[in-house]
């Protein structure tokens, strides 16, 4: 087993992919509200842009800071050397390529959801005349869908990193973490107990 596999934050965020079907389902329900009021390509563009662009930009330029859970995040200065190495792995070219692939994949899925949305009209959450409210719900749900697929995919890429590559990775500079990563939530000294998944400082 690779040494960094003992880092619990990796597995917590990998498990986040389980929420993907829920948000795709909500997106479908939002698209099922009423009949199109705008040209199909305009509605698809609006929902797709709101859902894809922010998360893709984040993963390309300031990847999600995985040492966080819900509304709290571990202060960067409290990260271990091994955790800093893990962060550096999220800035690889592979992760950028995967982020673009996931964005394209979800765009295709959005088109399929739009096509089949009329079949779910009977269980739509709003009356037919609330089409724009449905599109708003669809856009927010699609944004969450992107987040809950992009982050686990990037985590999987790091988990599959060879041990030798991880050991050779230079730890991310502490002073730059706040600029290089998207840190959401209130920063605290520690989230998980001391005995959970500490990575040795030498990366082995």
DSSP-assigned letters across all residues of 114-166: HHHGGGGGGG-SS-TT-HHHHHHHHHHHHHHHHHHHHHHHHHHHHHTS-HHHH
pLDDT at position 17 is: 97
CA dihedral 100, 102, 96, 40 (to 10 degrees): 30
The mean pLDDT values, 10 residues at a time, for the chain of 204 residues are 86 96 97 94 96 96 94 92 92 94 97 96 94 97 97 96 88 89 90 58 46
- Would you list the domain boundaries of the chain? 3-188
pTM tops 0.85, yes or no: yes
- Tell me, what's the pLDDT at 1? 66
pLDDT at 190: 87
Residue 194 pLDDT: 58
pLDDT for res 58: 96
């Amino acid at each position: 087993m690779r040494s960094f596999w003992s880092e619990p934050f990796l597995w917590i965020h990998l498990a986040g992919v389980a929420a993907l079907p829920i948000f795709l389902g909500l997106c479908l329900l939002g698209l099922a509200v009423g009949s199109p009021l705008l040209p199909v390509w305009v509605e698809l563009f609006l929902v797709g842009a709101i859902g894809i662009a922010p998360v893709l930009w984040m993963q390309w330029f300031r990847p999600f800071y995985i040492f966080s859970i819900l509304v709290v995040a571990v202060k960067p200065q409290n990260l271990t050397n091994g955790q800093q190495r893990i962060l550096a792995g999220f800035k690889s070219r592979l992760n950028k390529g995967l982020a673009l692939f996931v964005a394209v994949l979800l765009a295709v899925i959005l088109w399929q959801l739009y096509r089949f949305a009329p079949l779910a009209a009977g269980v739509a959450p709003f009356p037919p005349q609330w089409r724009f409210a449905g599109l708003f719900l669809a856009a927010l749900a699609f944004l969450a869908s992107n987040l809950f697929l992009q982050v686990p995919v990037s985590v999987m890429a790091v988990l599959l990193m060879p041990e030798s590559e991880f050991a050779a990775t230079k730890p991310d500079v502490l002073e730059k973490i706040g600029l290089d990563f998207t840190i959401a939530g209130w920063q605290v000294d520690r989230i998980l107990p001391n005995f959970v998944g500490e990575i040795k400082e030498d990366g082995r």
